[in-house]
């Protein structure tokens, strides 16, 4: 079955993939955004600023998003 072979190839590719630091950070931001409550006013930008502070990054001072 061609569909099964294509799916198997995708699973193998995903299994072998090693996430970059940027991909891991995007996953963390996404997780935090998904865990917000309905009435939360937390924005993606504020999550990134908080992560910068927690991780000791200075990306906003350097003009990086």
Burial of 49 (0-12, 13-18, 19+ CB in 10 A): middle
Q: What is the pTM of this model?
A: 0.66
- Using an 8 Å Cβ cutoff, are 29 and 22 in contact? no
Per-residue pLDDT of 9-26, as tens digits, reads 999 999 999 999 999 999
Residues 36-56 have pLDDT tens digits of 999 999 999 999 999 999 988
């Amino acid at each position: 079955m061609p569909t099964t072979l294509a799916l198997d190839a995708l699973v193998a590719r995903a299994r072998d993939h090693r996430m970059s630091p940027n991909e891991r950070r995007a996953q963390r931001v996404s997780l935090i955004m998904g865990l917000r409550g309905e009435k939360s006013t937390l924005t993606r930008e504020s999550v990134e600023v908080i992560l910068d502070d927690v991780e000791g990054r200075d990306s906003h001072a350097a003009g990086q998003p």
